Structures are given as C-alpha cells and as structure tokens.
Amino acid sequence: MAILLNEQFNKLGMSGSTQWYEVKINVESDNLDDIDQVEYYLDRSVSPSVMVSENSDNKFEIQIKSWKEFPVSAKIIFKDQDVLPVMVQTEHRQAS
C-alpha cells in the first residue's frame, strides 16, 4: 500500500518582517478507508506541534498558519490493529 504525505505552503503575506503561510497537509492513498487516523508531527515552533485527523473524507487534511516552512512527518494508524503503524515524511518544498 503506497501512502504519500502532501504538504502545500501558500504565502499569505507579510506581517512586519515576517512572511506568513497557510499550510495544508493531507494523505494520499488508494486505501484511505483502511486508515483510522493520522498523527502529524510539525515543527516544534508550531503550536500545537502534534495534530491528529480522523477524517478520511478530506484525506485526513489539517490546515494551519505558520511563519516558516518546514518538513512534516506523520504516523499512519490503521483500523486493523494487526497492521503496524507506518511513518511517512514530506520533502521540504518552497512555498508557492
């Protein structure tokens, strides 16, 4: 089962000398219905730095605002408890 973690940083604008971003993160998989929840691990400077989504209807998407770009990792937890959780990570990309 292939699982991809999508991360999109969109520039919102400047506040003083700080660039702000809208960040959208979700999971892409052919088997979203097999996933129970996704625990997202964000940069420690982001509060909260761990977020959980249980909504497969929106691909377990979370949205935050951040003042910097950062890579994201996630633990994929499956409905079938005999299947071990899987860790996935994004590659850092430049904002659009």
What's 16's domain CATH number?
A: 2.60.40.1970
Number of domains in the chain: 1
């959208």: which residue's tokens?
24
**Boundaries of domain holding 7:** 3-89
Query: Residue 96 has what pLDDT?
Result: 52
Q: Say if residues 90 and 70 touch (Cβ distance below 8 Å).
A: no
The first and second tokens of residue 41, run together, are: 């691990």
**Stretch 44-66: mean pLDDT, rounded?**
95
The first and second tokens of residue 32, run together, are: 């979203």
User: Is pTM beyond 0.85 here?
Assistant: yes
Q: Give the confidence band of 10 by pLDDT, cuts at 50, 70, 90.
A: very high
Query: Residue 66 has what pLDDT?
Result: 92
What is the rounded distance in angstroms from the CA atom of residue 58 to the CA atom of residue 25? 10
**42 in a domain, yes or no?**
yes
**96 in a domain, yes or no?**
no
Q: Give the confidence band of 94 by pLDDT, cuts at 50, 70, 90.
A: low
**95 in a domain, yes or no?**
no
